[in-house]
Amino acid sequence: MPASCHRHASGFTLLEVLIALFVLGFGLLALAALQIRTYSATRDAEYQSIAALHAEGLAEAMRANPKRTGVTNEPWSWQHYLTGETGVVGATTKACTTYDDAAQGFSSGSVECTQDEIAAHDLALFKARLESAFPGADEVKAGVCPSADLSAPPTLGSLGCDASGPLAIKIAWRVKVGSDTNQKLSASSGTTSSLREMGFQMRFSP
């Protein structure tokens, strides 16, 4: 076999090397994009889990502090936990964290807390824990209100409260998203936003 043919068969041309580098680079970019999407999905799932955990914590506090209504077939009421569309605002002046065995109720120092004060403390603690648990969130809004329909998630603009219906615990927050997600979210409006709203809600079961 001639030497020229041998050299041609055993080597790679510059074009083949460039094609191989292009394919490798495209694969690496696809892998990076997949990792970004996976991270975003993992973070969203983590936020949903955190919201569910704190919502259930508030539900447990509500179950421990009901009021008697005196109405037939409706022995308990949780109206003192309602916040409406505004969500949890302000903070209670009493930290009702000490349980008094003699009085069989919570107190703030030596002063016994009323059921309304305990509810205010529970709600303030609920909101504070959410804000601490979502360090990457731009804003957090949460509340308790009647909600007949839970098909639409709550938002910062509207928690989705109704005039009547079963009670629901609702949480909405805004988080930052990557540039790729920004482009998809803003494609219809022609604007660019670096924030995305998320929501969680659960029916309160006594």
Q: How confident is the model at residue 28 (pLDDT cuts 50, 70, 90)?
A: confident
Q: Is 167 a member of any domain?
A: yes
Q: Is 198 a member of any domain?
A: yes
Q: Could you tell me what percent of the chain has a pLDDT over 70?
A: 69
pLDDT at 129 over 50: yes
The answer to whether 124 and 88 are in contact (CB under 8 A) is yes
Q: Is 27 a member of any domain?
A: yes
Higher pLDDT, 13 or 89: 13
Q: Is 44 a member of any domain?
A: yes
**What is the per-residue pLDDT across 104-123, written as a single tens digit (0 to 9) for each?**
566 666 678 888 888 999 99
Q: How confident is the model at residue 187 (pLDDT cuts 50, 70, 90)?
A: very low
Q: Is 11 a member of any domain?
A: no
**What is the per-residue pLDDT across 37-86, written as a single tens digit (0 to 9) for each?**
666 667 778 889 999 999 999 999 999 999 987 666 668 899 999 998 88
Residue 140 has phi, psi (to 5 degrees) of -130, 135
Domain count, the chain: 1
DSSP 113: P
Q: Is 117 a member of any domain?
A: yes
Q: How confident is the model at residue 202 (pLDDT cuts 50, 70, 90)?
A: very high
Domain that holds residue 27: 16-178+194-203
Between CA 163 and CA 6 the distance in angstroms is: 86
Q: Is 188 a member of any domain?
A: no
Q: Residues 6 or more apart from 48 whose CB is under 8 A from it?
A: 198, 200
Q: Please name every residue paired with 175 in a beta bridge, in sequence order, or none if there are none.
A: 137, 196
Q: Is 184 a member of any domain?
A: no
Predicted pLDDT at 164: 86
